[in-house]
Amino acid sequence: MPPVRGLRSARPVVRAVALAVVAAGAAALLGGCAEGAAPKSAGHAAAVTGPAELWPGSKPWPAASPATGGEEAPQPLTAVPRVPSGHIREVSAGSVLLAQIDAEKRRDEPVFDEGEEREIRSCADKPGSGSCPVRAPEYHDLTGDGKDELIVGVESGSNNLLIIYAYTLKNGVVTSILGSTSSPHSVEVADHKLIIHEPGDAPGYESRTVYAWSARHQVMTIQDVGYGRRAPASATPSGR
């Protein structure tokens, strides 16, 4: 039988068929991988860019419910003489601060160490003068009743801490409605709110804490805490 020549001539055909089957199988495997859960290439990585605002002009989300912060309850300073007129400017800011310090010590919650307390007492009657750590008092309406509240700031320690107290009059009694500790680069009052701006971890960024009057709790509570790019000085009202 003439088979030898026929077998030799059939080998290329068999080989070609086998290669076609292998190629088809490989294509099926590759197709299966592409459709499965195997990782896919995302292409070239995009270059890193700076912060960009998303969806500019969109309406803001509704404000969240205020979180409790600052004083948990109003703290009357009964050691300070009553003010029947209802005008807190008639009270000495220094005497209010000293009454605050004494009240904190009675509650065993002192904020200042002995050296700081001595320094505060030595110049409490002249706040804002020279090297006195007590800043000049500020008066702004924080409760929205049309009357001013007293805001006192005291520098503390070597870490640029600022202790901020706010007081209102309740039936003529000086009452503490805020006690806050921060390291701010600016503090301002806007729309009856006390806003504290602190430097952020990254250059050009800041954290912002907003205290607002709570009619329910009768104190200033934290209404909002945010973190973002620091606004240019010309676009942000300055404050103590």
Q: What would the two tokens of residue 20 be?
A: 């076609």
Half-sphere exposure of 3 (CA within 13 A, CB side): 1
Q: What is the pLDDT of residues 183-215, one digit of tens each?
A: 888 899 999 999 998 988 888 889 999 999 999
Half-sphere exposure of 237 (CA within 13 A, CB side): 10
Sequence-ordered strand ranges (E) for the chain: 75-76, 138-140, 149-156, 161-170, 173-182, 186-190, 193-199, 205-214, 219-229
Most distant CA atoms of the chain, gap in Å: 132
Q: Is the pLDDT confidence value at 19 over 50? A: no
What strands lie across the sheet with 193-199, from one edge to the other?
A: 186-190, 193-199, 205-214, 219-229
Q: What is the pLDDT of residues 136-155, one digit of tens each?
A: 999 999 999 999 999 999 99
Q: What's the mean pLDDT in 55-80?
A: 57
Confidence of residue 43 (pLDDT cuts 50, 70, 90): low
Percent of the chain with pLDDT strictly greater than 90? 54
User: What pTM was estimated for this model as a whole?
Assistant: 0.68
Q: Please report which helix (H) or strand (E) contains residue 238, including its range.
A: none
Q: What would the two tokens of residue 201 be?
A: 């971890």
